[in-house]
Amino acid sequence: TDQATVQEIPRIIAVANQKGGVGKTTTTINLATALAAVGKKTLVLDLDPQGNASTGLGVGHDQRERNAYHVLMGDIEMDQAIQDSNIPNLSIIPSGPDLAAAEIEIPELDRPQFCLREAIGDVSGYDYVLIDCPPALGMLTINALVASNAVMVPLQCEFFALEGITALVKTIERVKKNFNATLDIQGIVLTMFDKRNNLSDMVANDVRDFFGEKVYETVIPRNVRISEAPSHGKPVLLYDHNCAGSKAYLHLASEVLKRENRSAA
């Protein structure tokens, strides 16, 4: 239903990992859709110049005139860049081509780490804001971490999953220490799990040994429907709501909500 009960202050979650192709965008889109489906007013902020989250939610390149770049740079108010998606309870601030330039423009601004926080800090009317980060630990990702309450880290179940994770954890710690004391790792989500491949199991076990309870029980399987959905401009939950990938993302959303309740208590 549309009867969302909206919190005063949204929970802002950055979906981050400096590796490309690990499932950040897929997780952002489908977690957002699953949260919206259970009545949570959700906003996706596409901070990746590649704009895959925008495309995946059906926002064409000709519909990105006012976008995340302009919000980030303080050129326009956040509200002016928010679009309704065609999914109830789900809105989006699309990516724009100028975001690539932002990496070099931001350092020249005052308090460069705080641009996004200043732009979206007083957002209201949403339960969740999910920020899809680019595959780098540059200024865009730093800005996302500074503006967020928590970070969600997708890890692909492949041999090099944990490689580079130290750099990410260090960046999160540095942001915590210097700019955003309450930033927390909301959780680690294992993606592209292949049950026919022993390596997937080994990697999943290693990640659980390393991160313990931070790892969600839900594991996102490698699922062809997930990879097909973006070309239809739809989250997999709308493309094929019965497939294993959709079920996994619904389950992840329920786990996220459970954790949120626990940390609020």
Contacting residue, 19, 24, 41, 234, with Mg ion by CB under 5 A = 24
- In the bound state with ligand ADP, the residue whose beta carbon lies nearer, of 73 and 191, is 191
- In the bound state with ligand ADP, the residue whose beta carbon lies nearer, of 76 and 204, is 204
Which residues pair with residue 132 across a beta bridge? Answer: 15, 46
Q: Give yes or no for residue 19 binding Mg ion (CB under 5 A).
A: no
Which residues pair with residue 115 across a beta bridge? Answer: none
User: Restricting to residues 177-206, which ones interact with ligand ADP according to CB under 6 A?
Assistant: 191-192
Find the length of the chain. Answer: 265
Q: Give yes or no for residue 25 binding Mg ion (CB under 5 A).
A: yes
The residues, any chain, with a CB within 8 Å of residue 231's CB and separated by 6 or more, are none
User: Restricting to residues 244-263, which ones interact with ligand ADP according to CB under 6 A?
Assistant: 245
Q: Give yes or no for residue 27 binding Mg ion (CB under 5 A).
A: no
Q: Give yes or no for residue 70 binding ligand ADP (CB under 6 A).
A: no
Partner from Mg ion, ligand ADP, none binding residue 226, C-beta < 5-8 Å depending on class:
ligand ADP
Burial of residue 105 (CB within 10 Å: 0-12, 13-18, 19+) is middle
Q: Give yes or no for residue 54 binding Mg ion (CB under 5 A).
A: no
CB 76 to ligand ADP: min, Å: 26
Interatomic CA distance for residues 68 and 76, integer angstroms: 10
Q: Give yes or no for residue 234 binding ligand ADP (CB under 6 A).
A: no
Q: Give yes or no for residue 135 binding ligand ADP (CB under 6 A).
A: yes
Show the binding pattern over residues 15-44: x = contacts ligand ADP (CB under 6 A), - = does not.
-----xxxxxxx------------------
CB 152 to ligand ADP: min, Å: 12
Q: How many CB atoms lie within 10 A of CB 76?
A: 14
Pairing of strands 128-132, 11-15: parallel
Pair 94, 67: CB distance under 8 Å: yes
Pair 46, 92: CB distance under 8 Å: yes
Indicate if the alpha-carbon torsion angle 11, 176, 264, 217 is positive or negative: positive
Q: Give yes or no for residue 223 binding ligand ADP (CB under 6 A).
A: yes
- Residue 103: C-alpha distances to residues 20, 107, 130, 148 (Å): 17, 7, 20, 18
Partner from ligand ADP, Mg ion, none binding residue 222, C-beta < 5-8 Å depending on class:
ligand ADP
CB 201 to ligand ADP: min, Å: 16
Interatomic CA distance for residues 10 and 44, integer angstroms: 12
Residues of this chain that bind ligand ADP (CB under 6 A): 20-26, 52, 135, 191-192, 220, 222-223, 226-227, 230, 245
Residues of this chain that bind Mg ion (CB under 5 A): 24-25, 52
